[in-house]
Amino acid sequence: MYVIRYVMSRIFVFWLSVAILVYGWFNHTQLVNEGYSVSEALVKNLTRLDDTGKTETVVVHILHLEDLVVIGAIMLVVTLLLTGARNVTLGSSGRRMTVARAISHLLVLLVFAYAILAVVWWFDAHLVNAWFDASRGLIARAATAIDPVGRLELVLRTLGVGRHLVIATLMLALALVWEVLKWMGRGVRARLRPQVAA
């Protein structure tokens, strides 16, 4: 049950973040554009550590990390607010995730998902491009079903939501693997505990 709740919360945070991004684009376009500009400048400054320029080509022009930083920042804020509101409303407990723990979990998932995407692209660029194409196609079909005029699809494509969905899927897969490993570890400890007591 805990794993299902955790997975559903990650999915909810992602799509709520996308909804906030789309709402911002429709109502505060300049603010969203400034956010993307700041993110792009930050990523380019980090990639300048590589004098060859190859890192900037891969990170900025191919994987579009600046887009992913924007959605990642929104997800961090959403996680902070939702976790804080839940703990204030329901109170804190040993098993309930704290704000700091929720933020650290999300940061770790983001960094690992970015790293996996970059590594997979390095060894098999066609596979990553296929992921992006499939994700864009899925988003386009969903947007067309909601808005047949095509305005929503154009906005989602402009905001790079297809790439965000790939990262979110990687994050979800990492979270599931981690939770399964923890569950297996608890099972092994539970089996070993009676033997130690004996």
CA atoms within 13 A on the CB side of 12: 10
pLDDT band at 87 (very low <50, low <70, confident <90, very high): confident
* pLDDT tens string 1-17: 566 777 778 788 888 98
Mean predicted confidence (pLDDT) in 31-49: 80
82, pLDDT greater than 70: yes
Mean predicted confidence (pLDDT) in 61-84: 81
Q: How would DSSP label each residue in 109-176? A: HHHHHHHHHHHHHHH-HHHHHHHHHHHHHHHHHHHHHH-TTSHHHHHHHHTTHHHHHHHHHHHHHHHH
What is the Cα–Cα distance from 73 to 95, expressed in whole angstroms? 26
Mean predicted confidence (pLDDT) in 47-65: 70
Look up residue 59 and give its DSSP letter. Answer: I
pLDDT band at 97 (very low <50, low <70, confident <90, very high): low
The pair of structure tokens assigned to 47 is 């990639």
Residue 117 · residue 166 · CB < 8 Å:
yes
Domains of the chain, by residue range, sit at 2-197
Q: What is the mean pLDDT of the chain?
A: 81
* pLDDT tens string 136-154: 999 999 889 988 888 888 8
Which of 2-6, 34-38, 87-91 has the least mean pLDDT?
Answer: 2-6
Which of 13-27, 59-73, 143-157 has the least mean pLDDT?
Answer: 59-73
Q: What's the pLDDT score for residue 45? A: 78
Write the CB contacts of 106 (distance below 8 Å, at least 6 apart in sequence): 13, 75, 76, 79
